[in-house]
Amino acid sequence: MKNETKGIAPLIIAIVVIVVAAGVGVGVFVATRGGTGGGGGGGGGDIGSATNLSFDVTYAGQSVSYKVKDIGSTNMKIRVGMTVSGYDMIYIMDGAAQTVWVYTAGAWMDMSSTFADTWGTYDTMFSGYQTDLAGVTGTTWTSPDGSVTISNISTATIPDSEFTHG
């Protein structure tokens, strides 16, 4: 029984990660629609046509780090990092391989059975981010109502090693 419980806990945490990450993403997506926000210094690059995009989002007390590579292609890869209930969590999706991996409680778990649903959510969300951030020339963006801050915006090439598990 103890081994079964130990295996279930990371699965429950992984499901929480998916819900939290999607919730923060949708919250930011909704909060940023139609606004121009404010830019910070530095140069985020041409975000509107970027094929690589990394940034940190702070919304409703939750901070989430996003890295996206090969945006708009069938090879698109997404990495989401956060801390939930004291656990560092990493969530990796690979569009070409159609895989989903979640790191939590010190272990990687294959959650590829959720690929279709989670890919649909994240693909839509990141298209929205790219559109909303298209006019930003700095490395920081704040929503018009001040509820969302997107910082450390970069269009630099992201190494493939950021999208591997294990």
**Structural domain contains residue 164:** no
The 10 Å Cβ neighbour count of residue 111 is 20
Residue 132 inside a domain? The answer is: yes
pLDDT tens-digit readout, 28-38 = 544 444 444 44
Residue 118 lies in a domain: yes
Q: Is the pLDDT of residue 39 over 50?
A: no
pLDDT digits 0-9 by tens, 42-79? 344 578 778 899 999 888 888 889 999 998 888 999 99
Domain membership of residue 166 (yes or no) is: no
- Tell me whether residue 163 is in a domain: no
The verdict on residue 53 lying in a domain is: yes
Closest to 133 (Cα-Cα) out of 42, 55, 16, 20: 55
In terms of DSSP bridges, do strands 99-104 and 87-94 run parallel, antiparallel, or are they unpaired?
antiparallel
User: CB-based contacts of 4: which residues, under 8 Å, 6+ apart?
Assistant: none
pTM of the model as a whole: 0.76
State the total domains in the chain.
Answer: 1
Domain region containing 89: 2-158
The answer to whether residue 165 is domain-embedded is no
Q: Buried (b) or exposed (e) across 130-165, using 16+ Cβ within 10 A?
A: bebbeebeebbbbbeeeebbbeebbbeebeeeebee
CA distance 17 to 31: 21
pLDDT for 101-120, tens place per residue? 989 888 999 999 999 988 88
Half-sphere exposure of 59 (CA within 13 A, CB side): 25
